[in-house]
Each structure stands twice: as C-alpha cells, then as structure tokens.
Amino acid sequence: MRIGIARLTAALGATAVTAALVVAGGTSAGAAPACTTTYQLNQWTGGFVAQVAVSNAGAALPSWTLTWTFAGDQRVVSGWNATVVQSGRTVSAAGTGALPTGGSAQFGFQATYSGTNATPADFALNGVRCNDDGVPPTTTTTTTTTTPVPPVDCPSGGVCDGFEDQTGVTPSGRWTVGSPNCSGTGTASVDSAVAHSGSKSVRVDGRAGYCNHVFVGTGLSGLPAGQPVFGRFWVRHTTALPEAHVTFLAMRDSADNGKDLRMGGQNRALQWNRESDDATLPEQSPAGVAQSAPLPLNTWTCVEFRVDGANGHLSTWVNGTAVAGLQVDGVPTADVDGQWLRRTGWRPAVTDLRLGWESYGSGDDTLWFDDVALATSRPGCSG
C-alpha cells in the first residue's frame, strides 16, 4: 500500500537508476541552514520515484510546506505522506502535522520526465530556503544498475504503495497493524525476501481461530468523497481457501453502523461478506459457488474491486477478468446477489482498507500483499 503512497518500477528492458543526493552543511563562518533536505531518486526511462526528507533546524512549525522548482519538464503524478501539488514547474508538498525544532519529515512522489532529470536546487520550508549555509551544497551521487521488473500502474490521483519505503520489520507510515476485539498468534511484517515487484511486500501469517486475526490497514482520506472506490492488490498465499469462512480484506462501512464489508473465501472459493447481516456474494449454494473462483496458490494474483456507494454496486476482477459470482448490479440474480439485495437501499461508504487474515473456524494461511492501489478509476493489473 505508499492510502500516502506510490511506486512505479521500470518497464521490461529498461534500466533502473538509483541516485541519492546528500546535502551537507558547510564549515564556513556563515549561519547554519534553517532546514536541510535529502532527495533520493529511483528513475527509469520516462519516469521516477523520489523520496524526500526535510529536517527543521529553525523555530517549531505548527504546519509545514516544502517547495521547489523543477528545471526540466518533470510532472508529478501522485504523492504519499504529504499533499504534493504542481503548478507549472513549481511544486509544493504540504505535510500533515507539526514539525518541531530538530524534527524531520519524509514523503515521496511519483513523476514523469523526458530529457534530463536534474535534482531541484531551491528547496524552501515555509518560504525559508533550505541547505543555505553560505557555501554551495555538496552532492554525492551513487549509481547502480538493477534487473528491471514490469511496471505496476498507479492511476492519476490514486493512493498507491508497494512498501518499498518501509524501513523496519513492522509496517509503518500510513499503515497500521491491528487485531480488533482480541489478539492471538497472527502476525504481520515487512518481507524483504518475497515481492511482486521491487524488493518488499507485507507478509501475514494467519492462524485459525477468531482471536488470531491480524490486519494491516490505511485510511481512504486521500480519495475524493462521493465517488466509487476502486482497489487493486497483488496477493500470494500458500494454503487453499477452506470450507469455513475466512477474510483477507476488510473495509469499514460508515453507512452500515461501522460494520465491515469483507472479501475472503468460503467453500473453497472467493466471496464477499457483509458483517452486519452475514449476507454473502455469491450465495453459498452449489450453483452460486460455481460462479466464483478459487484464489490460486503460490503465485501472485491480481485482485481488483469497485465499491460504488451511490448506486449500491460491487464489482470484482481476478487477473483482469470479471468474476460473474462476485458482482452486485442492483438487479437480483439467483445464486449470485439475490441474498445480498434482500436488504434494500444498501449504499456503502467505505472509510479504510485492511489486508490480513481472519478465520472464523479452521484455516491457517500465509499471505503476501504488494502493489496496492486505491483510486477513483480502475487501476488495472499492468505488470
């Protein structure tokens, strides 16, 4: 998931270049800079991801905005952990909280470019120039060549994350780990050994039994209200979905008393479940289950969904193909959404996304999640 987050990796056949800019304070008699920045760049032909850190050496700031100017035709596509907006060549990144004296903040953004991709030289924090200590900043650049991986698209304005900026074992930043109601032996961690693209994913070791549930979640505050929510994630797991009901995705529905809209499995096939009345999609008849699909084992699978609250519709795709048994279109269909639509006026308003594992009977599983996207248009499964 960078729900503050995006990563675009290199297209097949391209060469990824990683460059790190380190701005060091000078040793002249001039005053120390009021702020310093670092700008870490991962670029490929036509695009790049930048990780930016800003440190405040001046007075405490109740809110902060970092600005800079691009020298070329770089265009910001999306950002995370800050609101990144571009006007012409000028870019501003507004933080989400205070920045005390001696404090620092980090954010990132994805952008396109053509020609050269020069590092900005005029960073300013709340209008005060950074890295300005009376001598030119020193720059250290390292370049490495890596094996390219397929691109994973992020729609314009989307909230996307491939977990590449995670630095610890426990997911952090926009992601929080939780076990609502009770906690047991389920765990969630950042995995640097298994990934769909890049080098990291989130691993969930799910255990059978209700209290062993665990989820990694993020809010949807980065998306405009009142529009359909599209989601995409890649998932890999080791154990077939069981006969009993399990959940690996949950979204809180503020229009349903805060109960969850859940995706998981039952009768060895994918299903949606509504926590408030336990309605299932499809119906758990043999004919209904036959119109769903299992979740493939030991391979990365692209799962997409659309929650259209205004019309009460729900759509699902697996590896780019619509699953007939996982659609709510407003017209009851026997064995599919007939049970779901017995409640009239269902108009979901989801407020978060949580990925993990919850078992209501039997069924351990180990799952990996990667390349999460949330947007108001369909992300697709490129890569």
User: What is the tens place of the pLDDT at every residue in 106-138?
Assistant: 888 878 888 889 999 999 999 999 987 543 333
- Looking at residue 35, the DSSP 8-state letter turns out to be E
pLDDT attached to residue 25: 34
- CATH number of the domain located at residue range(s) 159-375 in this protein: 2.60.120.200
> What is the side-by-side order of every strand in the sheet holding 65-69?
83-87, 90-94, 65-69, 124-125, 128-129
pLDDT at 348 over 50: yes
Question: Residues 114, 120, 124, 127: is their CA dihedral positive or negative?
Answer: negative
Provide mean pLDDT across the span 362-380.
Answer: 93
pLDDT interval class at 194 (50, 70, 90): very high
Could you write out the three-class secondary structure of 303-325? EEEEEECCCCEEEEEECCEECHH
Q: Say how many CA atoms lie within 13 Å of 140 toward its Cβ.
A: 5
Which of 15-24, 68-77, 93-102, 292-301 has the least mean pLDDT?
15-24
Q: Give the confidence band of 370 by pLDDT, cuts at 50, 70, 90.
A: very high
**Residue 261 CA: distances (Å) to CA of 61, 213, 251, 362, 371:** 39, 16, 5, 21, 21
Summarised one tens digit per residue, pLDDT across range 227-254 is 999 999 999 999 999 999 999 999 999 9
pTM of the model as a whole: 0.63
Scan for tokens 């991986």, then name that residue.
149
Across 322-330, average pLDDT = 96
* Confidence bin at 28 (pLDDT 50/70/90): very low
Distances in Å between the alpha carbon of 158 and those of 5, 6, 150, 161? Answer: 9, 8, 19, 10
Q: Where in the chain is the domain with CATH 2.60.40.290?
A: 16-146
Domain with CATH 2.60.120.200 in the chain: 159-375
pLDDT for the residue 312? 97
CA distance linking residue 200 with residue 149, whole number of Å: 13
Task: Provide the mean pLDDT of the chain.
Answer: 84
Q: Which residue has the higher pLDDT, 90 or 131?
A: 90
Q: What is the pLDDT of residues 135-172, one digit of tens each?
A: 333 333 333 333 333 446 688 788 899 999 999 999 99
The fold of the 16-146 domain, in CATH, is: Immunoglobulin-like (2.60.40)
User: What is the signed CA dihedral for 331, 336, 342, 347, rounded to 10 degrees?
Assistant: -70
The mean per-residue pLDDT over the stretch 176-180 comes to: 90
